[in-house]
């Protein structure tokens, strides 16, 4: 079993739990609901991408990291929904984060984020139908990441992941990639379902 297939198989329960807490396909989704989801994504992607930059740089230029960062796209969407620089800075950030102690764990985390971009194309189609021409929700920059290059970007990530696994030639490395992905899924689920009673809402 290659590493991509192993990731899909061995993270399935974690993936399914995460999918269950994302309600963007809800028939009754409002612009406020959509904004809150994007605020939550921002709180996770911002610190995760900061942690991923150093270990994943070892795979440059194959990964093309600069084109893969999503925080700026989330901020573009959130500004369309009423945020400004000050309110974005006040949004809560996820903690604790997965322990991305090396390249293997970082690749597992990146697998989750890149897979979310691939799977997000279904959400994008739904959002476009659901909101129609409602200008309040902006242009869905986050879900439009990579444009018509979603497939090629996913394949490039898979190639880089496979090559890193082959160079390591170690089940310990592959197991750490899988654990990094599991931990990222679990962090996402915990963040999206956290008790929000004590969150301070961003002032718009």
pLDDT digits (tens, 9 = 90+) for 148-182: 999 999 999 999 999 999 999 999 999 999 999 99
Task: Report the pLDDT value the prediction gives residue 201, as an integer from 0 to 100.
Answer: 44
Task: Report the pLDDT value the prediction gives residue 200, as an integer from 0 to 100.
Answer: 43
**What's the whole-model pTM score?**
0.93
Structure tokens at 11: 């993270």
Percent of the chain with pLDDT over 90: 90
CB 140, CB 77: distance < 8 Å: yes
Task: Report the pLDDT value the prediction gives residue 203, as an integer from 0 to 100.
Answer: 43
Q: Which residues of the chain have pLDDT under 70?
A: 195-204
Q: Which residues contact 142 (CB under 8 A, 6 or more apart)?
A: 38, 41, 70, 73, 74, 76, 77, 120
Structure tokens at 81: 């929904």
CA distances from 65 to 3, 36, 68, 191 (A): 21, 27, 5, 25
Task: Report the pLDDT value the prediction gives residue 195, as an integer from 0 to 100.
Answer: 57
Q: Is 157 exposed, middle or buried (0-12, 13-18, 19+ CB in 10 A)?
A: buried
Task: Report the pLDDT value the prediction gives residue 198, as an integer from 0 to 100.
Answer: 41
Task: Report the pLDDT value the prediction gives residue 133, as an integer from 0 to 100.
Answer: 86
């Amino acid at each position: 079993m290659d590493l991509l297939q192993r990731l899909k198989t061995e993270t399935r329960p974690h993936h399914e739990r995460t999918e269950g807490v994302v309600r963007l396909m809800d028939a009754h989704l409002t612009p406020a609901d959509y904004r809150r989801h994007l605020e939550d994504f921002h709180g996770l992607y911002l610190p995760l991408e900061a942690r991923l930059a150093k270990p994943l740089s070892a795979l440059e230029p194959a990964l093309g990291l600069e084109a893969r960062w999503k925080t700026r796209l989330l901020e573009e969407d959130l500004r369309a929904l009423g945020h400004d620089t000050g309110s974005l800075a006040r949004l809560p950030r996820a903690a604790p984060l997965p322990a991305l102690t090396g390249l293997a764990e970082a690749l597992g985390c990146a697998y989750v984020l890149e897979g979310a971009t691939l799977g997000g194309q279904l959400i994008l189609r739904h959002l476009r139908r659901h909101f129609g021409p409602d200008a309040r929700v902006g242009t869905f920059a986050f879900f439009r990441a990579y444009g018509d290059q979603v497939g090629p970007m996913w394949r490039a990530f898979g190639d880089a992941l496979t090559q890193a696994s082959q160079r390591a030639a170690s089940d310990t490395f592959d197991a750490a990639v899988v654990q990094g992905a599991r931990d990222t899924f679990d962090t996402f689920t915990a963040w999206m379902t956290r008790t929000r009673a004590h969150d301070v809402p961003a002032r718009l």
